Amino acid sequence: AQGTNPVARIQRAADGTVTVYSGKVEGGQGSRTQIAMAVAEELGVPLEKVRVVLADTELCPNDGITAGSRTTPSTIPAVRKAAVGVAGKAAETPVGKWDVLGTPHGHVHGRSIVTGAHEYPSDLKRPGMVYGAILRAPAYNATLRAVDAGAVAKMAGVTLVQDKNFAGVTAPTSFAARQAIEALAAGAQWETKAHPASSEMAAVLKATAGTPRDQVKGSPVETLAGASKKLRQSYYAPFIQHAPMEPRAAVAEWSNGKLTVWTGTQNPFGVKQQLEQAFHLAPAQVRVIVPDMGGGFGGKHTGECAIEAARLAKECGKPVKLRWTRAEEFAWAVFRPAGLWEIEAALDAKGRITAWDFAAYNPGTAAIATPYQIAHTRTRYYDCDGQMREGSYRGIAATTNNYARECFMDELAQLAGIDPLEFRLAHIDNPRLKDVLQAVAAKFNWNARRKQRRPNVGVGLACGTEKGSYIAACCEVEAPETAGAAVKVIEFHAAYECGAIMNPSNLRAQVEGSIIQGLGGALFEGMEFEGGKLRNGAFARYRVPRFADVPKLEITLLNRTDLPSVGAGETPIISVAPAVANAFFHATGARSRALPVRRA
């Protein structure tokens, strides 16, 4: 699929500069630089001569949503193929002859970012622009029944836009828009319904579970029934927020029946379609442009902010900027789904797993199948009604599915009386997974450090695979003796392999960023709500990792130049929570089977 009227993928100018077009989005993950590197490599031009135009639905081809670690395995090959055609070469440059690719390069717009010159979606302005704000519900499951239009009728420059259960305003300044919303909220009438508390969510998921989707190999039920040594445990992960540095923002402008929206989204062509449907417009009547934005992490796939801004702009007849507040982002953006897991397995006399039964309630299906070699397995997935707005997250469901699986693997190793590393290696037949696990264990000095015992200090490990790449991690933690206090991660080692490395410095940054974000979900994060109201929808109450929380990091990158390059923005995060939870057990002798990891 293409944009409305896309130009050629690559254009060369008389002065030697090259412009490349892609529908991908830059949200801090490095796609802009990687695309420029790919073109510079195949055309043999300096990197500074390459200009990259991203995420403009009128100019760029539709390269799909920026998610799922797809830029490297899908978009980069398309860009390189186009560059090869422009250069008149027979084939792409092989890995062994790379000059630009395979070497470290910083962000091509790095200077403008660190100096503040770059304009994010939140920064954009248009001539004659006004500011918008939306009346939000006071609680989940609340429906707007009436507002008092007179509350804002005398406010200078304020326009009220109301339709059924939607109410918003435009005003000359963002402050005036917020004042108008406060006035509307004071007299608004709502109909509310009961909503479960976050403390009840595990029971809610179990109670609302639908018919499972099963994947069965061998005879797991029969093998479990006849086993003399078996284990069954359950695990839980709460809803958490993406907490991007930049909340949702959009500027919408109507001109001669055409709608243009500048917004922060990972899905420009999907948002374009949503706008077409919302306003009954033809494809040629809608253009979406995404400036490089301040993070998404899977949470910016939808176009609600763009639609709201366009709705306000259409009514007031002026361009409208709508910026969600941090409180709105916490309460009304999508959450990483809460999840419940029930896992059972059987062991033979030698400590081998003979049967495996993995039931997942609500997290999603990514990485749900075990990577371990087991003869008899059953995997069940249950769709549930968590009554919260759920969506993708970094690593999607792999982040929490791997958490539950790797914690259970440690418990099985304990039951078998076998070291956790040795136990895993005995069940791995994939050489790539085995390579990263052995690499990180050697770098961490696992065998020696596992035997060292210090009060409230322990070590743990975890591994996994997703999106065609492989991760393993070892960490050391200190567990406070106070119940409910956060665990301190002292040192974290990771070994990662994603095929041939295209940009070593950016890859290292992606792995480090994944680990730090993963520490949030492992140590601190969890949405708290009761009576339909969010209790911790602010950074003052919702703890995310800070500089003081970052442990000593040791990253080992395995460069497989014999394999195709795959994406690296997600998989490293899946090792963090289970490694921390397993280290907590080693430190305390007690299991923490719910996130964040805590002493009971």
Strands (E), 125-164: 130-134, 142-146, 159-163
Edge-to-edge strands of the sheet including 50-54? 10-12, 18-22, 50-54
Reading the block at residue 342, the tokens are 């029930």
Q: Where are the domains of the chain?
A: 10-118, 122-192+248-323, 395-588
CATH architecture designation of domain 122-192+248-323: 2-Layer Sandwich (3.30)
User: Under a CB-based contact definition with an 8 Å cutoff, are residues 480 and 588 in contact?
Assistant: no
Closest CA to 387 of 207, 165, 189: 207
Residue 288, CA distances (Å) to 74, 118, 465 in order: 22, 19, 35
Tokens 């719910």: give the residue.
594
User: Under a CB-based contact definition with an 8 Å cutoff, are residues 318 and 212 in contact?
Assistant: no
What pLDDT was estimated at residue 483?
87
What pLDDT was estimated at residue 4?
52
What pLDDT was estimated at residue 6?
64
Reading the block at residue 250, the tokens are 């959009």
Q: Kindly write down the DSSP assignment for every residue of 222-257, as one continuous string.
A: HHHHH-SEEEEEEEEE--B----SS--EEEEEEETT
Sign of CA dihedral 71, 73, 74, 75: positive
Q: Kindly write down the DSSP assignment for every residue of 436-501, as one continuous string.
A: HHHHHHHHHTHHHHHH--BTTEEEEEEEEEETTEEEEEEEEEE--SSTTPBPEEEEEEEEEE-SS-
Q: Which residues are paired to 311 by β-bridges?
A: none
Are both 10-118 and 395-588 of the same fold? yes
Tokens 């990972």: give the residue.
266
**Residues 20, 39: Cα–Cα separation, whole Å:** 8
**Residues 403, 386: Cα–Cα separation, whole Å:** 20
CATH of 10-118, one of 2.40.50.100, 3.30.365.10, 3.30.390.50, 3.30.70.2080: 3.30.365.10
DSSP letter assigned to residue 74: I
Length of the chain as a residue count: 600
DSSP letter assigned to residue 19: E
Residue 188, CA distances (Å) to 84, 181, 182, 184, 533 in order: 61, 10, 10, 6, 17
Residue 417, CA distances (Å) to 405, 423, 598 in order: 18, 9, 25
Residue 66, CA distances (Å) to 18, 29, 295, 304, 555 in order: 23, 10, 11, 17, 25
**Residues 153, 107: Cα–Cα separation, whole Å:** 48
- Dihedral, 462, 467, 468, 469 alpha carbons, nearest 10: -40
Q: Give, in words, the CATH class of 395-588.
A: alpha beta
Measured CA angle at 263 (ends 257, 265), to 5 deg: 125
Phi/psi at 74 (5° precision): -115, -55
User: For strand 130-134 and strand 320-323, is the pairing parallel, antiparallel, or unpaired?
Assistant: parallel
H/E run at residue 50: strand 50-54
Closest CA to 488 of 515, 462, 452, 524: 524
What pLDDT was estimated at residue 1?
42
**Residues 406, 581: Cα–Cα separation, whole Å:** 9
User: For strand 353-361 and strand 457-466, is the pairing parallel, antiparallel, or unpaired?
Assistant: unpaired
Contacts of residue 457, Cβ cutoff 8 Å, sequence gap at least 6: 476, 477, 478, 479, 490, 587
User: Under a CB-based contact definition with an 8 Å cutoff, are residues 86 and 12 in contact?
Assistant: yes
Closest CA to 81 of 15, 22, 3: 22
The pLDDT tens digits along the chain (600 residues) read: 445 556 789 999 999 999 999 999 999 999 999 999 999 999 999 999 999 999 999 999 999 999 999 999 999 999 999 999 999 999 999 999 999 999 999 999 999 999 999 999 999 999 999 999 999 999 999 999 999 999 999 999 999 999 989 999 999 999 999 999 999 999 999 999 999 999 999 999 999 999 999 999 999 999 999 999 999 999 999 999 999 999 999 999 999 999 999 999 999 999 999 999 999 999 999 999 999 999 999 999 999 999 999 999 999 999 999 999 999 999 999 999 999 999 999 999 999 999 999 999 999 999 999 999 999 999 999 999 999 999 999 998 999 999 999 999 999 999 999 999 999 999 999 999 999 999 999 999 999 999 999 999 999 999 999 999 999 999 999 999 988 899 999 999 999 999 999 999 999 999 999 999 999 999 999 999 999 999 999 999 999 999 999 999 999 999 999 999 999 999 999 999 999 999 999 999 999 999 999 988
